[in-house]
Amino acid sequence: MSSEISELPYSSLIRTLSIVAGVFTVVGTISGVTMLLMKWDHNSAPQILSVLPMLLLPAAFICLVAVLFLAVLRRRAS
């Protein structure tokens, strides 16, 4: 059955975008929580911890929308 899945169109792109979206989500969430904890504890946090969630979480959402679109195209092609 796995040979059938690998032969479907867009499979590797869907898998890659899903992994990228997952990594972006995890890193964005961890940096956001870390920023909140540091601001609560020290009243300051590095600027990068504020910027990362604002960049990575929307990028992860865009990747997942692309995955959904590719999955629809793959479904119509098979």
Helices H / strands E in the chain, number of each? 3, 0
Q: For residues 57 and 65, what is the distance between their CA atoms, to the nearest angstrom?
A: 12
Confidence of residue 73 (pLDDT cuts 50, 70, 90): very high
Is the per-residue pLDDT at 5 higher than 80?
no
In a domain, 3, yes or no: no
Q: What is the pLDDT of residue 77?
A: 82
In a domain, 2, yes or no: no
Q: What is the pLDDT of residue 9?
A: 83
Is the per-residue pLDDT at 7 higher than 80?
no
* Tens-digit pLDDT profile for residues 18-69: 999 999 999 999 999 999 999 999 889 999 999 999 999 999 999 999 999 9
Is the per-residue pLDDT at 8 higher than 80?
no
Q: How many structural domains compose the chain?
A: 1
Domain that holds residue 50: 11-77
Chain position carrying tokens 């796995």: 2
In a domain, 4, yes or no: no
Closest C-alpha to 69, from 21, 5, 24: 21
